[in-house]
Amino acid sequence: MPYRALVTGAGRDGGIGQAIVKRLEADGMEVLTLDKLPGCTWQVDLATDELPDFGPVDVYVANAAITTLFGAAHTFSLEKWRLDLDINLTGTFRVLQKCLTGMRERRYGRIVVISSTSGTRGMPAQVSYATSKAGLIGMTKTVAAENVGAGVTANCVLPGMTASSGILGMPESIKDAWLDSLPSGFVDPADIANAVAFFASPESGMVTGQLLTVDGGDGLNTRSVTSSVSRRRQA
């Protein structure tokens, strides 16, 4: 029998979720999907709806999140703050909790949570998003620690600026500004899916409580005098 995976946030064309689904299917898994958008196995709002009966889940990939609430911390509304945390953090936990009981009973499970580099670095103008992604890291490490020796692992993938449909739909001036600051350009969603596939595989059973950043080196100190001079000459 193939391993059975559940991927949330898989309804958006060109998104990370769909890339993950394709990769896990290519690895021979049976993949179920969940999103607020239509076209998935289940259409569910993680913040408000009752969760369906997923049946046995061997691999849970927590990808569902919103990224569209902006504002400085000192003026940010509690309404927007709660919405980000209700979906990104609490919604992820609700599904995890529903999958985890069966994983523990069967003594096998792979939990892969899509956090973000903003969860470790912060993100100006997105205080609730960064907070929710930081919370996912704490949640994942706690679940990993609680299930050591139970056959269940929990790990995080931290994407950098990724060429998903949301980013690609931004005005050209904004995309150009981002690209000017990224040493390797935008991350491809398939690169995120590759990282997920490792954590989701049966062979990764000795890896738990870990963070894997996929950002093309953006978090490294890659700036230098010579690179600055080169950019000025090109301009």
Tell me the per-residue pLDDT of 24-42, one tens digit each, with 9 for 90 and over. 999 999 999 999 999 999 9
pLDDT band at 165 (very low <50, low <70, confident <90, very high): low
Q: Percent of the chain scored above 90 by pLDDT?
A: 62
More confident residue, 67 or 183: 67
What is the reported pLDDT for 85?
94
d(CA 3, CA 123): 36
Q: Which DSSP string corresponds to the chain?
A: ---EEEEES--STTSHHHHHHHHHHHTT-EEEEEESSSSSSEE--TTTSPPP-----SEEEE--------B-TTT--HHHHHHHIIIIIIIHHHHHHHHHHHHHHHT-EEEEEE--THHHH--TTBHHHHHHHHHHHHHHHHHHHHTTTTTEEEEEEEE-SB--HHHHTS-HHHHHHHHHH-TT-SBPHHHHHHHHHHHHSGGGTT--S-EEEESTTTTS----HHHHHHHHHH-
Say yes or no to pLDDT of 223 above 70.
no
d(CA 34, CA 51): 10
- Of 74-83, 140-149, 162-171, the poorest mean pLDDT is in 162-171
What is the reported pLDDT for 157?
97
CATH number of 4-234: 3.40.50.720
| Residue numbers annotated as active site | 129
What is the reported pLDDT for 185?
66
d(CA 186, CA 200): 24
d(CA 175, CA 223): 20
Q: Which of 70, 147, 69 is nearest to 106 (CA)?
A: 147
Residues 6+ apart with CB under 8 A from 5: 24, 29, 30, 31, 32, 57, 58, 59, 60, 61, 200
Say yes or no to pLDDT of 14 above 80.
no
Residues 6+ apart with CB under 8 A from 40: 10, 11, 33, 34
Taken as a whole, the chain contains a residue count of 235
Say yes or no to pLDDT of 191 above 80.
yes
What is the reported pLDDT for 163?
57
pLDDT in tens, 81-112: 899 999 999 999 999 999 999 999 999 999 99
